[in-house]
Amino acid sequence: MSGVVARYARLGLNRYQGNKLQKELLEKELVYWKPVSTRKGRLKVLVLTDKGKKSISDVKIEKIFSKRGSFEHEYAKFRIGEYYRKKGYWVTYEYKIGDGKTVDVVAEKDGKRIAIEVETGKSDAIYNIKKDMEAGFKEMICICLTHEVKTNIVSQLKETKMDKEAPEVFTLTEFLK
Res 162: pLDDT: 81
Interval 138-164 mean pLDDT = 91
Of 92, 86, 118, which is closest to residue 106 (Cα–Cα)? Answer: 92
What is the C-alpha to C-alpha distance for residues 78 and 60, in angstroms, rounded to an integer? 12
Q: What percent of the chain has pLDDT over 90?
A: 43
- Average pLDDT over all residues of the chain: 84
Q: CB–CB of 157/166 below 8 Å?
A: yes
What is the C-alpha to C-alpha distance for residues 46 and 104, in angstroms, rounded to an integer? 23
Query: 21-35, 84-98, 100-114, 138-152: which range is least confident on average?
Result: 21-35
Query: Tens digits of per-residue pLDDT, 73-115?
Result: 888 898 899 999 999 999 999 999 999 999 999 999 999 999 9
